[in-house]
Amino acid sequence: MKPVQPKDWVPLLKPYAKSSVRYGLWQVVHTALPLFMLWFAAYRLLDVFRPIALIVDAVAALFWVRLFVLQHDAGHGSLFPKRWMNEAFGFVSGVVTLVPYHYWKWQHARHHATSGNLDKRGVGDIRTWTVDEYLQAKPWARWKYRLYRNPFVMFFIGPIAVFMIAYRFPLGFGGERPIIRRTVALTNLCIALALGGAASLWGLKALLWVYLPGIYLAAMIGIFLFYVQHQFEDAYWEHDPRWEYLKAAMEGSTYLKLPRMLQWLTGNIGFHHIHHLAPAIPNYRLESVQQEVPLVRAAPTVTLKDALAVACADLHLYDEATRKLIGFRDVAPRLKAMRREAKAQKKATAS
């Protein structure tokens, strides 16, 4: 069969890359309104029965995730047809999600342009080493990488490290741009004013028992979704100049098949392979592409159960020989052999 080329699939996807002001506004309303209503309900329940309040807050976290997906669409210019509407919504929603819109947008565009490229890793993605890089690294560097890839650190400490701390300081890719620094500072100021106003109106307990648990859980879900849709055993990785955008999208991203309600709450982000193929397609048209364009069905499909297994799996190193992600246990014998050889050489030199 003749390989599929970009010229073959672009005409198939282009008709879906059309956004609507009316539907974009409707998405914002039926995401933001339930979110604020759930926040208020959780706040009122704090003095009635705190465990119930936290359960309501957990439901609110899912709408928080959906709000971020809409912010994500705005970053691609696909939520609304007008740029100023995307930019305005992106900034305002970034105050709620704690994600500085323009800084994130800059890094996320780099992620789309380099996903699966072994020569351009490190921006907007999960840091992934090759087996050779791991074996050649210093012990301290290996330990730090193992700590970073530990599921507990990734999913439980990661939300605090990324959303609450790292996003407050534009020190990564794009942070050298004055406009990025200014927008991050403005976002931080707006967040501080919003939280300060909320504390003065509803008290500190509203922040401690409603806002913080909700944003923490939402951030955890967000990291989980991003992780499992790019980190799987057969994920595509390639060096320049052999790296191909089409393969990176179709073989380096998954179709995460979620239950209907979770699919809606996560803004159809499970159709991640389609999103990487054509970021200009609004989230509300992705399912139609999956149903109507046979080409996209070639992407790897995972269920929620599969995704939970991937999140806990020892798949942290890319083996260029087998072209698969493998685990630390798989390279442990080679690492021990290298240590024995180094020790023998040191003893031989000393004698």
**269-327 confidence digits (pLDDT tens):** 999 999 999 999 999 999 999 999 988 888 999 999 999 999 999 999 999 999 999 99
Question: CB atoms < 10 A from the CB of 146, how many?
Answer: 13
Q: Tell me how far apart the alpha carbons of residues 61 and 268 are, in angstroms, rounded to a whole number.
A: 16
Per-state percent for the chain, helix, strand, coil, to nearest 5:
70, 5, 25
pLDDT tens-digit profile of 27-48?
999 999 999 999 999 999 998 9
For 36-66, letters b (16+ CB in 10 Å) and e give eebbebbbebbeeeeeebbebbbbbbbbbbb
Closest of 196, 190, 199, 202 to residue 40, by C-alpha: 202
5: pLDDT confidence band, cut at 50, 70 and 90? Answer: low
Closest of 61, 42, 63, 41 to residue 265, by C-alpha: 63
Q: Tell me how far apart the alpha carbons of residues 325 and 232 are, in angstroms, rounded to a whole number.
A: 7
Q: In the chain, count H helices and then E strands.
A: 18, 5
Supply the DSSP symbol for 80.
S
pLDDT tens-digit profile of 126-169?
999 999 999 999 999 999 999 999 999 999 999 999 999 999 99
- Per the structure block, which two tokens stand in for 201? 């109106």
- Per the structure block, which two tokens stand in for 28? 């914002």
Mean pLDDT (the chain) is 93
For 220-241, letters b (16+ CB in 10 Å) and e give bbbbbbbbbbbbbeebbbbeee
pLDDT tens-digit profile of 228-268?
999 999 999 999 999 999 999 999 999 999 999 999 999 99
> Given the DSSP bridges, would you call strands 301-303 and 324-326 parallel, antiparallel or unpaired?
unpaired
Closest of 224, 255, 254, 269 to residue 67, by C-alpha: 269
Query: Bridge-partner residues for 324, per DSSP?
Result: 319
pLDDT score of 7: 62
State the distance between the two ends of the chain, measured CA to CA, in whole angstroms: 62
> Given the DSSP bridges, would you call strands 317-319 and 324-326 parallel, antiparallel or unpaired?
antiparallel
3: pLDDT confidence band, cut at 50, 70 and 90? Answer: low
Query: Bridge-partner residues for 271, per DSSP?
Result: 255
Determine contact, residues 105/75, Cβ cutoff 8 Å. yes
pLDDT score of 66: 97
Assess whether the previous peptide bond of 159 is cis (omega < 30° from 0): no
pLDDT score of 1: 39
Q: Tell me how far apart the alpha carbons of residues 80 and 27 are, in angstroms, rounded to a whole number.
A: 10
- Per the structure block, which two tokens stand in for 225? 């979704």
Q: Is 255 helix (H, G, I), strand (E, B) or coil?
A: strand
Domain ranges of the chain: 6-350
Determine contact, residues 248/230, Cβ cutoff 8 Å. no
Place of tokens 């999208």: 249
**Which residues neighbour 252 within 8 Å (Cβ) at sequence distance 6 or greater?**
115, 116, 230, 235, 236, 237, 276
Question: CB atoms < 10 A from the CB of 143, how many?
Answer: 11
Determine contact, residues 28/71, Cβ cutoff 8 Å. no
